[in-house]
Amino acid sequence: MSGIPPYFKLLRPHQWVKSGFVFVGLLFGHAWQDVLLVHSVLLAAAAFALAASAVYVINDLADRERDREHPEKRLRPLAAGTVSVTHALLLAGVCMVSAAMLAQAASNTVLVIILAYALLNVGYSMGLKHVVLLDVFIISAGFMLRILSGTLGVGIAPSHWLLLCGLMLTLFLGFAKRRAELNALQSRGGSHRRVLDDYDPVLLDLLIGICAAGAIVSYSLYTVSPETVAMHGTTSLIYTVPFVMYGIFRYLFLLHRRGGGGDPAVALLHDFHLLGAFAGWLLTVIAMLVRS
């Protein structure tokens, strides 16, 4: 990202792929043929992309001194001094107002969810990120709000199985992020993020293992549950489970053997195996749901 202009880099556009969670309800709710619903979901996804950018700017403002202690984050525009605090605040304000307008256009419920997301992350930046375990649950909540905006926000009833799977998967990603930060900073963890002093590799590995297993089991049970079979008219979704397992195992490999795992968006966009597992899962799901 070295060639990206500082202001655009500050928005972290590669993180917009996380808005993909907004489309879960559209996919598994068989709603992709409803033009109005698709339009609303697209607005919700765009709103979350801009709201997330605003949140990243605020986080970078709060963390700019500590980011200077990190081998990679020291290159971020605010930590490096290539963007001023005033301009960063203006940029965050424009993104948040635009996100609110797009959310309102989708539905009032999406607007409430976007505002809840913003408030949650303000609390995170103001101090909740220093509370061990709660910090990761807040990260997970951001993903779960994306799922809810693309389901409840547009009138699609979310599956309890998928909500459970989403929770376990996003907790897995959150704890893996903390593990990657420990790997990168080694004994200097607390100098960058104070909460890292309350984590240790053994604890994080246990939490990561529990969440990885929970995500795989919950998704597997979803694919074979009577409710799922009745809704989609197929028992074949179970054949998508290997893609999920491979993706999670690959992420663990990157975390422990390749120094990755700190940013799921970067991992997905740069690792051929992860991208292939995701593409295989998505194409297989679409093929089975359309056929049914």
CA distance 213 to 143: 19
Q: Is the pLDDT of residue 4 over 90?
A: no
48 within 8 A of 175, measured Cβ to Cβ: no
Q: Give the residue among 79, 91, 65, 85 at the shortest CA–CA distance from 11.
A: 91
| Average pLDDT estimate for 264-289 | 93
Return the residue matching tokens 């997301």. 117
Which two tokens mark 127? 């101090």
CA distance 69 to 209: 29
**Which stretches within 127-159 are classed as H helix?**
134-149
Q: Give the residue among 228, 118, 109, 119 at the shortest CA–CA distance from 165.
A: 228
Work out the number of other CB atoms within 10 angstroms of the CB of residue 170. 25
Report the mean per-residue pLDDT for the chain: 89
Q: Is the pLDDT of residue 8 over 90?
A: no
Tell me: the pLDDT tens digits for 45-102? 999 999 999 998 988 887 777 767 766 777 778 777 788 889 889 999 999 999 999 9
58 within 8 A of 95, measured Cβ to Cβ: no
Q: Give the residue among 156, 162, 218, 185 at the shortest CA–CA distance from 67.
A: 185
Which of the 8 DSSP states describes residue 132?
T
pLDDT of residue 63: 76
| Average pLDDT estimate for 34-45 | 94
Label residue 172 by pLDDT band (50, 70, 90).
Answer: very high
CA distance 57 to 264: 18
Percent of the chain residues past pLDDT 70, beyond the cut: 94
How far is CA 85 from each of CA 60, 62, 255, rounded to the nearest angstrom? 10, 10, 33
193 within 8 A of 136, measured Cβ to Cβ: no
CA distance 7 to 271: 26
Work out the number of other CB atoms within 10 angstroms of the CB of residue 273. 15
- Give, rounded to a whole angstrom, the gap between the first and last alpha carbons of the chain: 42
pLDDT of residue 170: 96
* Fold topology of 1-158: Tetracycline Repressor; domain 2 (1.10.357)
Tell me: the pLDDT tens digits for 187-242? 454 455 678 889 999 999 999 999 999 999 999 999 999 988 988 888 999 999 99
Label residue 1 by pLDDT band (50, 70, 90).
Answer: very low
